[in-house]
Amino acid sequence: MAPAVPEVTIEVVKTQPVTLTTELSGRTAAYMVAEVRPQVGGIIRKRAFTEGATVKAGELLYEIDASPFRSSLEQQQAALASARASLRNSQLVAERYEKLLPSNVISRQDYDSAMAAYQEAQANVQLQTATANSARINLEWTQVRAPIGGRTGRSLVTAGALVSANQATPLTTISQLDPIYVDVTQSSADMLRLRKALNAGEFTRKGSEQPEVSLVTEDGSPYPHKGRIQFSEVTVDDTTGAVTLRAVFANPDGLLLPGMYVRAVVTEGVDEQGILAPQLAVRRDRKGNPTARIVNAEDKLEVRQIVTTRVIGDRWLVTSGLQAGDRLVVEGAREAQPGAAVKIAPSTAAR
């Protein structure tokens, strides 16, 4: 009696658009950070914000005792008024001497002295104007305002504290968290592979847009907003061999905070003619190379070496060795040798 022909389950290979992604780890970082420092020295009279609250750019944060700066401004304004009066007097003298000079009523030296005094008075008005403006700016700086909008940190000073101009210790810190950055690292080898594949046309990317990024937060939940890669570092870290990529995400609910660990899923592109083979259908030869069994036109087994690049779900992405229309063996006839006749299971014959 002839031995029974082994039965196999097949899947007909087909091409389809396959979105290629890679998962990278990284951390969040504030979009903008401003350390608030006083521009003038004095006693803090009041803190005008709530720690941890969101403030707008230009909003009042602290008030420094303005009394000495207000007094200085008044003094400078008085000095400016005096300089303007002197200017007016020297101007009248110079104009009078200019009219008398042709009649030789006054000497040329007296005229020159009057003109020099007039010019000196003009310069003094300019000096006193600049000094008064400086005093006005110092008075305005007694109100310490937010340089950017964002969320405030804890206040490092209280009312009654003495502060100095441009001190090393900030009064507080403001972080803009919407949008927010996510910095991830990618090995330089992977980046080179990606660029070569893109240049070779192995996959495409929509227009000139930067790659889209999805996030998975520390607790494993997906982040609801998509982001995009904004830029990549131009140098490779010589200690890790990695390149930092920076993505930007909307963060309207403040869910992401600076320093959080996240996993970013970066969309590299789309392989328009991708081939996905079930993992069950891929075997390894003695050298560890991936192989696949095919039912040829004569309903006999054929073993092919294939090239796989990555796992997508429960399937391998095959870049070489298979083509559309091949009848790929998924299960059955595990002991059958190449060239052996097989029978396709009825449930898969139409696939």
pTM exceeds cut of 0.85:
no
Spatial CB neighbours of 87, under 8 Å, sequence gap ≥ 6? 118, 121, 122, 124, 125
In angstroms and rounded to an integer, the radius of gyration of the C-alpha atoms of the chain is 39
Q: Residue 159 has what pLDDT?
A: 94
| CATH class, range 66-141 | mainly alpha
Share of the chain above pLDDT 90, in %: 55
Q: Residue 206 has what pLDDT?
A: 62
Q: Distances in Å between the alpha carbon of 6 and those of 281, 342, 345?
A: 16, 5, 10
DSSP-derived 3-state class of residue 177: strand
Query: What number is the average pLDDT over the span 307-319?
Result: 89
Write out pLDDT tens, residues 76-93.
999 999 999 999 999 999
Tell me: pLDDT of 203 over 60. Answer: no
Q: Where are the domains of the chain?
A: 7-17+273-348, 19-32+179-271, 42-64+143-169, 66-141
Mean pLDDT lowest for which of 30-44, 138-152, 165-179, 196-210? 196-210
CATH number of 19-32+179-271: 2.40.30.170
Q: 42-64+143-169: which CATH topology?
A: OB fold (Dihydrolipoamide Acetyltransferase, E2P) (2.40.50)
Query: What number is the average pLDDT over the span 105-120?
Result: 89
- Does domain 7-17+273-348 match CATH 2.40.420.20? yes
Residue 218's pLDDT band, with cuts at 50, 70 and 90, is confident
Residue showing tokens 């997508």: 312
Mean pLDDT lowest for which of 171-180, 264-273, 274-283? 264-273
Q: Residue 29 has what pLDDT?
A: 93
Q: Residue 282 has what pLDDT?
A: 92
φ, ψ (nearest 5 deg) of residue 306? -125, 170
Query: What number is the average pLDDT over the span 123-135?
Result: 95
| Edge-to-edge strands, sheet with 42-47 | 143-145, 60-64, 42-47, 162-163
